[in-house]
A and B are shown apart, each in its own frame.
Chain A
Amino acid sequence: MDMLQLVLGGLANGSVYGLIALGFVLIYKATEAVNFAQGDFMMMGAFVTIWLANSHYMGLNFWVAVPIAILIMGVAGYLLDLLVVRRLFGQPQIATVILTIAIGFILRFSAGAIWGHEPQWLETPFVGRELRMFGLVLGLEEVAVIIVTLLLTLFLFLFFRRSKLGLAMQAASQNQLAAYYMGIPVKRIQSLVWGLGGGVAAVAGILFASKGAVDPSTGLLGIKAFAAAVIGGFGSLPGALIGGLIIGLVEPFAAYALPAGYSQIAPYAIMLLVLIFRPAGLFSQVQKKKV
């Protein structure tokens, strides 16, 4: 039963990694840019929700605060692209990488300046409640995290596969010029996907803050989510989730089986192995060009 508990905790952690990775992949899939600030977006989402919902700040009802926080982060993502990232349109990819790294630093700094550097918790209706099932004691928040993550991934997967907007996003990334010729407003599509990325980051932040403490440097978790996205194959939505779950599962077991100090290495070691032996990830998105 101990093992099952470990698995469940790992899955819940992995879901959060997966959600951050989902944000990377979303933006990468639609704009070919990697948002190195996604982890810090998540941290901001968590803090905005804490600010809205916790009793010593605004003290709104949890169910009111959550959609507002998601909306705020979505709009922030949209505006960020509209005002800042879009200026780099047509410049080499690495410019965007450096820009988003800088944005991440600025977000971390401003979160520290506004909300302080002490760890904070989100007050949720799930706290402390337990689910007893088949002799297992499950924290309700862990179950909620896993379910929300699965639903969100499914929704985004279908969105990219089926909806007109999702297809337009994929087209805009595969070939910007051709997308323009097809009448797709590439720049607006990119802003929209940044907004979407902000919203997903907010969800990840809410889930993370509901099961653990957040402080401004939580955003560095984004590096683990990178590992998740790479393992899953950058550009694949289910891949990002599975990569996140793999890392989430590996962590507790590595801590269980290996001496202290070695367990933190495990996620990155797995990522390097994947990069070396299967550079395109488990769910390869690389296709040979058909002539």
Chain B
Amino acid sequence: MRFVFKRSYNDDIGWFKHRTQAIYYMVLLAFVVALPWLLDDFFLGEATNVLIWAIVGMGLMLLTGHTGQVSLGHAAFMAVGCYANIIMMQRGVPFIVALPLSGLITGIVGAIVALPVLRLHGIYLAIATLAISVLAEDIIVIAEPFTGGVSGLVAPPIDLFGMQITRYGTPTAFYFITLIVVLAVLFAYRNLLRAPLGRAFAAIRDSEISAQAMGVNITATKAISFGLSCTATGLAGALLGHFAGAFNHETFNIVLSIQLLLMIVIGGLGSIHGAFFGAIVIGFLPQVIAIGRDVTSSLFGFGSLTIPGIEVGVFALILLVFILFEPMGIYGRWLKIRTYFELFPFYRKGMFKRQKSYLKTERTR
């Protein structure tokens, strides 16, 4: 058990709670940087995949976990970032300019889309963003001169400092590009949370009425949150385009939108850690299922039984278990376990229990 004494406001808003925690994160950073020398190319590709998921996860976490606005349409914004990046690169813009620009464009598109949509509440917002996700797919097909329509686009290799970087050709370099983007987004996110804007986001999540009473401009703040969220999503989309190599409208379908939301719920809503935990689950699930299939076939001699759609099915089942038994996600469970050992033997069962609330209709205001 450690007691942290905060002597000034700077202690309170510091990056780390105490020095040991800082050391833990430095060790983690060193491990992540050393990863290319520890893994073979296949698993390095998987790790890159997880990092890309984590970038979108952070984007959506900012919106859903910290501002409390549910979006079922983030695949659409991934598509915007992805297509913007590749179209600019095809017109001769260098990658190092195109990547941040694609994030910026997605952010602006997101904020513009958000303004009318964010006047809606809860369920309506979810449905409107769902519609955006469906529309995006059709719009990609219609805008064929730019997007290549149904046949899609092929990502050109990244030209950086005289190197030709592709996912399969130079996995290490691609991994580091992704890692730099992850760290940049993480840095911005963590700083945002301790700035007035981040506090305003949390205030809106907890109660719109009280946030308004404290002088927060609800609509503008939500739109900014949506825009920032889309910026991160666009960056991830751009990287995904390079990671996948070739993509079309079906890459960014509605199932992806839903998976993104489910990812951050499994990770744990309302924490940056949750975005990473969720990304790890979603990134490695296909491998785990493949391994599980091999194990069952060798144990019971089923042959390699392939059931189409089993990944989504297993994923949904995991989600179901989490929503029912651990609504705070993996990170919430970790917090509980840690608290149990820190307070041993004084942990009580109800410590993390939220107060139940009785629903009232939204139809009378």
Residues of A within 8 A of B (CB): 28, 31-32, 34, 84, 87-95, 97-99, 101-106, 108-110, 112-113, 117, 173-177, 180, 216, 220, 223, 226-227, 230, 234-235, 261-262, 264-265, 268-269, 271-272, 275-276, 279, 285-289
Contact = CB atoms under 8 A, between A and B. Distances in A.
B208 to A, nearest CB: 14
B365 interface: yes
A288 B364 CA distance: 6
A287 B364 CA distance: 5
A84 B324 contact: yes
Most buried by B among A34, A84, A109, A264: A109
A126 to B, nearest CB: 32
Contacts of B130: 223, 226
Question: Interface residue tally of chain B, by bracket?
Answer: 35 or more
Contact of A98 (B138, B265, B310, B359): B265
B320 A103 contact: yes
Contacts of A98: 261-262, 265, 319, 323
Given A101-B258, A276-B117, 18 more contacts: A31-B359, A32-B359, A32-B361, A97-B70, A101-B261, A102-B316, A106-B316, A112-B307, A173-B359, A173-B361, A234-B123, A234-B124, A261-B138, A261-B141, A269-B135, A272-B131, A275-B128, A288-B365
22 contacts: A84-B320, A88-B323, A90-B357, A93-B123, A94-B70, A97-B70, A101-B262, A105-B313, A108-B313, A109-B313, A109-B316, A110-B313, A174-B363, A176-B360, A220-B254, A223-B254, A226-B130, A265-B138, A271-B131, A272-B132, A275-B117, A279-B120
Contacts of A177: 358
Interface string B285-324: 0000000000000000000000111101101110110011
B131 A227 contact: yes
Contacts of B126: 34, 94, 97
Contact of B358 (A176, A223, A230): A176
B246 interface: no
A40 to B, nearest CB: 11
A93 B358 CA distance: 11
Contacts of B70: 94, 97
A261 B365 CA distance: 40
A139 B315 CA distance: 42
Contacts of A95: 323, 327
A106 B356 CA distance: 28
Q: A interface, by DSSP: helix, strand, loop or mixed? A: helix
A90 B365 contact: no
Interface of B: 70, 116-117, 119-120, 122-124, 126-128, 130-132, 134-135, 138-139, 141-142, 254, 258, 261-262, 265, 307-310, 312-313, 315-317, 319-320, 323-324, 327, 354, 356-365
B136 to A, nearest CB: 10
Contacts of A174: 360-361, 363-364
B274 to A, nearest CB: 14
Contact of B123 (A97, A108, A220, A285): A97
A268 B358 contact: no
A228 to B, nearest CB: 11
A275 B120 contact: yes
A20 B307 CA distance: 28
A261 to B, nearest CB: 5
B127 A287 contact: no
Contacts of B354: 91
B121 to A, nearest CB: 9
B267 to A, nearest CB: 13
Contact of A175 (B117, B141, B313, B358): B358
B206 to A, nearest CB: 11
A276 B327 CA distance: 32
Contacts of B134: 223, 268
A276 B124 contact: no
Contacts of B122: 93-94
A106 B127 CA distance: 21
Nearest to B319: A102
A21 to B, nearest CB: 12
B137 to A, nearest CB: 9
Contacts of A106: 313, 316-317, 320
Contacts of A93: 122-123, 359
A106 B314 CA distance: 8
Nearest to A109: B313
